[in-house]
Structure 1
Amino acid sequence: MSKIILLIYVFEQYMVSDHPKHSPDVSLPTDQNEEFSCVFRTRLGHHYLLYGAEMDGLKIDDKLTNTEEPINDAGKLKDLLEKGLAKFVELKSSADASINKREWSKICRFKSLRWWVQCYMGGIQEVVCGYRGEDGIIRSLQTFRVETLPQLGQGHWNPDVCLDYCSRFLDLVTNHVSNGPDEVIWSFIWNPQHPDNIEIGQVNKDSQYSFLHRWFTDEFKKNAKRKSDTSPSSLRESSDKSKAKVKIG
């Protein structure tokens, strides 16, 4: 693991605590395996999605800083979020953009897109970026509202294009998975050298990609309502669905 990645973990440790009334406990060793995740259910076009996302932290309303009640209970957390007393925050790190114009250009062109995609799908409202000096130490912080990130990347990327691409990719997935046998594991590979193509293949169920337990798939199949959707005409694919290259766009 690189030094920069380790420093990012330390940065996160200094930024969050286990309770709004407590200060961060920086005496504890960093644990890269520890995480807090939420499960989301949403709709994109005619697709219903269920997915998990790791959360870095919560910003708690000042009214709750004196409470002794634990807030890591799922029901309590949901109540706070619905009442607007808490919101998710994403922590990021970057080279100091105030003294490095190239770094600010990278944030506008590339990082703002990655931040927006991650936060938009996770319902995160703010990104707190820590700017590093040459020694790797965080020297300053800047908060970005997620809703303003598309303005930051204006002229470089468009959120509507991103959502449309995702929707058409899900059309592609639905077309293949719904027409294939239940025991088949499909792989969808995107190569940045050929950004308009997605390679589709079948994977052995004993491979590293077979991570779902049988009890889960049995229960899922019992309760799921399968929907059959035809792929849009803009998706051009080869006749061999076991291994095909598909162009989106």
Structure 2
Amino acid sequence: MPSNNSRDGFKVLMKLRPNEITDEKQPAFYLQRPKILTIYSCRHDSISSDVHLPYFKKPTSYPLDLNEGFDQFIFRQNKKSRLRKVEKFIMENEENHLQPDAHTPSGSGQTQNNSKRKVILCQRGVLTDIMQTPYHLNASTSNNKTFCVTKYCGVFHMQEQETITNFTQKDTYHQKFMQLCFSDDPNREPETDKPIDDNNLIFCIIKTSVKEFDLIYSAEIAGIVSDRKIENTHNMEEMNKLRFILTKQLNTNGIMGDYLNHRKCLRWWLQAYLAKTSDVCVGLRDQNGIVRTPVQIKRAEDIAKNRKWKPHVCIRFLHSVLKLVEKTMTQVDCPHTVYEFMYDSITRCIKFKVHAGKTDLSFLSDDYIRKCKQSASH
């Protein structure tokens, strides 16, 4: 529990000691295999079940200029609606995911017991930020990570802190690379001259578990590898059999040796792992945004091999943080109160601040709050 107060109003929860949290000798445990529950198409503020999956088409003509179309690029809007996809799924689904059975599903490889399971609703980005922390401890503003938690009806709701981003041209390279690699039809080449709207996205709602915690979260996906058109995206049994792929581009300026040792590659692997994605298409660009060499397709599982970072260390740290959040918020039951958790790389500690009652940080919608209350009463 809190050891002292800092001048910014935060209370220190835990000091992080590198040798302890990266200890590879501790018993390893893993996430239950992630399962897709549904897929949504998001266009600005609209969330729809009418989804048309993009199809991966490996580029054949080089160089690829990631600057093309920048003058027409529509940047993503910063909205306080990041948990809306998960809220929509919970509200529209007949199964009561907020009150899971006390027993762990058979075959999960995890201990079955009668203790109540804990439900976490969040975004993949929150999980990724937490899981990469053991290897991003050094003092740097880029290593500082903050997430907000509201506990209501026994359910933990976790959301990334709202930030204001000053976009640059380099921030468009990822979406341009995606456009060059995906088509609306497996039998057609990508349409690369259309304006890119970064507010048109596809998300999966995914469920997994780690020990006593059930995690339901949204994750943005890029597309699939398939030579046939997928007409029915409502059949989750078929959706879970698809081969998903994500695209990543990396500035090779200053990189020596294997580029997969770059610190970004840990995040690539975490994003793929959490989104049931088996492949990563990598484009190596120069500092001017030009990909001059053929893209490389990497199996996500191969990215994790022979690295300084270890998957089970990331997963163990996630579990430790979830336990810490649970312990800190034991007495909390309010749909508006927000606990702001932060990893401070300068002091190398996890700290928190309480925002009681309804504030600008409150993020649960009124409709969801009503659904949550109904589910808890059943």
TM-score interval, smaller chain: 0.7 to 0.9
Give the counterpart letter for 2:248 in structure 1.
K
Unaligned runs of 5+ in 2: 1-166
Match of residue 282, structure 2, among 129, 150, 170: 129
Give the counterpart letter for 2:233 in structure 1.
A
Q: 2:71 — aligned with what? A: none
SS in 1 for 2:351: strand
Label 1:169 to 1:135 Cα distance change in 2 as closer, same or farther (>3 A).
same
Label 1:205 to 1:55 Cα distance change in 2 as closer, same or farther (>3 A).
farther
SS in 1 for 2:303: helix
Give the counterpart letter for 1:176 in structure 2.
T
Q: 1:22 — aligned with what? A: 188
Cα distance per residue 1:163-185 (max 9 Å; x no partner): 00001111112223342132321
Q: Percent identity?
A: 23
Q: TM-score, normalised by structure 1?
A: 0.75
Give the counterpart letter for 2:256 in structure 1.
R
Q: 2:243 — aligned with what? A: 87
Residues of 2 paired with 1:26 and 1:146: CA distance?
Answer: 26
SS in 2 for 1:92: strand
Give the counterpart letter for 1:126 in structure 2.
D
Q: 2:264 — aligned with what? A: 111
Q: 1:242 — aligned with what? A: none
Matches within 5 A, 1:41-52: 41-52=207-218
Residues of 2 paired with 1:201 and 1:81: CA distance?
Answer: 40
Q: 2:233 — aligned with what? A: 74
Give the counterpart letter for 1:26 in structure 2.
T
Matches within 5 A, 1:209-228: 209-224=361-376
Unaligned runs of 5+ in 1: 226-249
Q: TM-score, normalised by structure 2?
A: 0.51
Contact 1:41–1:49 under 8 Å retained in 2:
yes
* Cα displacement (A) at 1:224: 4.7
* Cα displacement (A) at 1:204: 4.8
Instruction: Point out the more displaced range, 20-29 or 198-207.
Output: 198-207
Q: 1:246 — aligned with what? A: none
Contact 1:12–1:91 under 8 Å retained in 2:
yes
Which structure shows the bigger proportion of residues in helix conformation?
A: 1
Match of residue 222, structure 2, among 29, 51, 56: 56
Match of residue 144, structure 1, among 291, 298, 312: 298
Give the counterpart letter for 1:50 in structure 2.
I
Name the structure, 1 or 2, with higher relative contact order (CA <8 Å, separation 6+).
Answer: 2
* Cα displacement (A) at 1:46: 1.0
Aligned residues: 209
